[in-house]
Amino acid sequence: MGRKPAAHRRWRLAPAAVLLLPLVSACAGSAPSTLDPAGTGARRLEGFWWLLFWISVAVFVEVMALLAWALVFRSRAGRVNRSDPIRFVVVAGAGLPFVVLVAVYGIGLRDLAALGPPDEPPAATVDVTGHKWWWEVRYAGIDGATANEIHIPVGEAVRIRLRTVDVLHSFWVPQLMPKTDLIAGEVRETWLRAERPGEYRGQCAEYCGLQHAHMAFLVVARPRVEYDAWLGRLSTPAPAPEGEAEQRGQQAFLQGSCVACHTVRGTPASGTVGPDLTTIGSRWSLGAGAAPNDPGHLGGWIVNSQTTKPGNAMPPQPVDAAALPDLIAYLESLR
């Protein structure tokens, strides 16, 4: 008698658990979903996902129905199944799954083939290199580089060539394409095609160390003219700074250790350890999604990026407090 209420209470938790489900799904928030495709490759994957889902639902319902049937049957003592059990096991237990799995395999092969290179020539070829923990981005035939963002013309197929200089990384834009691993010593290829303009979040999808989670990037799909204008800006060396603060900032930048690791085209700075900073002022983030790109975070990043992104390859910089606002103004002006 004493234990009954406890067991009863446990069952009362079931509806509560069900009520929690929408909350859990709300965790997704604005996170990109493969089930909200905006590109050719992701759309195909979505179709395959739903196919597997509905097959699983059908199998689940069927097995549960058989189970219920068996339970009911067993409870009616004295009745014996007169149908042929061996035939049932062969047909329903082996034959049917075989047919379903072969069909799914065939559809999977068809989808895999469709994810390969498209018939048309690429609108652009982008060389993306994985570093611990950021993405170097270069366009074939263009002098210039950016980091952690890839601009593409909407509706056109863009070839992405993937390399890594250190460990395994994985290039993943859930709304556009399935994952492609970056393997040392190899050049892997994948294709991006966005159906509609937008900004699509990408993420390293292969655990690659401490700041793996801060190895995000953005694919920016824009109409052809806007894309061309952006590419024009990327390939143009940074103009000489105009304001006084910016000029002083440039001096501080060039005299500091920054030049050992960073490039700003149009200046003597030509380091290649860290991201090219020629267009840093227009980027969506600092440190591959570690912080928003605004003057406050930029200052904090320069002085000690280790608090924002512990373990990253940029050591704290001994910048004179008086020079910091100028340095920030200069970097912000690089667009």
Cα separation, 46 vs 286, in Å, equals 32
Cα separation, 100 vs 104, in Å, equals 6
Tell me if 205 contacts Cu ion by CB under 5 A. Answer: no
Tell me if 264 contacts ligand HEC by CB under 6 A. Answer: no
Size of the site for Cu ion (CB under 5 A): 4
Q: What angle do CA 250, 253, 256 make, to 5 degrees?
A: 145
The residue (of 171 and 227) whose beta carbon lies closer to Cu ion is 171
Residues 113-152 that bind ligand HEC (CB under 6 A): 133-134, 147-148
Tell me if 312 contacts ligand HEC by CB under 6 A. Answer: yes
DSSP letter at 277?
-
Residue from the set 157, 177, 192, 208 that interacts with Cu ion by CB under 5 A: 208
Q: What angle do CA 216, 329, 306 make, to 5 degrees?
A: 40
Tell me if 319 contacts ligand HEC by CB under 6 A. Answer: yes
Q: Three-class SS of residue 313?
A: coil
CA–CA distance from 69 to each of 77, 83, 185, 256 (Å)? Answer: 14, 14, 58, 78
Is residue 34 within 8 A of residue 177, CB to CB? The reply is no
Residue from the set 257, 270, 272, 306 that interacts with ligand HEC by CB under 6 A: 257
Query: Shortest Cβ distance from residue 153 to ligand HEC (Å)?
Result: 23
Cis peptide before 69 (omega within 30 of 0): no
Residue from the set 55, 107, 261, 323 that interacts with ligand HEC by CB under 6 A: 261
Tell me if 328 contacts ligand HEC by CB under 6 A. Answer: no
Give the distance, in angstroms, between the CA of residue 62 and the centroid of all CA atoms in the same chain: 37
Tell me if 254 contacts ligand HEC by CB under 6 A. Answer: no
Residues 116-175 that bind Cu ion (CB under 5 A): 169
Cα separation, 302 vs 108, in Å, equals 48
Q: Which one of Cu ion, ligand HEC, none is in contact with 169 (Cβ closer than 5 to 8 A by kind)?
A: Cu ion
Q: What is the per-residue binding string for Cu ion in 41-70, x denoting contact by CB under 5 A?
A: ------------------------------
Residue from the set 38, 204, 205, 319 that interacts with Cu ion by CB under 5 A: 204
Tell me if 215 contacts Cu ion by CB under 5 A. Answer: yes
Residue from the set 42, 314, 324, 334 that interacts with ligand HEC by CB under 6 A: 314
Q: Which one of Cu ion, ligand HEC, none is in contact with 287 (Cβ closer than 5 to 8 A by kind)?
A: ligand HEC
Q: Which one of ligand HEC, Cu ion, none is in contact with 288 (Cβ closer than 5 to 8 A by kind)?
A: ligand HEC
Query: Shortest Cβ distance from residue 311 to ligand HEC (Å)?
Result: 9
Tell me if 313 contacts ligand HEC by CB under 6 A. Answer: yes
Query: Shortest Cβ distance from residue 231 to Cu ion (Å)?
Result: 26
Instruction: Give exposure, 193-220, as e/b (b: 16+ Cβ within 10 Å).
Output: bbbeeeebbbbbbbebeebbebbbbbbb
What values do phi and psi take at 139, rounded to 5?
Answer: -105, 130
Tell me if 287 contacts ligand HEC by CB under 6 A. Answer: yes
Give the distance, in angstroms, between the CA of residue 322 and the centroid of all CA atoms in the same chain: 39
- CB under 8 Å to 81, separation ≥6 — which residues? 73
Q: Which one of Cu ion, ligand HEC, none is in contact with 280 (Cβ closer than 5 to 8 A by kind)?
A: ligand HEC
Element holding 221 (H helix, E strand): strand 216-222
Is residue 149 within 8 A of residue 284, CB to CB? The reply is yes
Residues of the shown chain interacting with Cu ion in the complex, contacts defined by CB under 5 A: 169, 204, 208, 215
Residues of the shown chain interacting with ligand HEC in the complex, contacts defined by CB under 6 A: 133-134, 147-148, 253, 256-258, 260-262, 273-275, 277, 280, 283, 286-288, 301-302, 309, 312-315, 317, 319, 327, 331
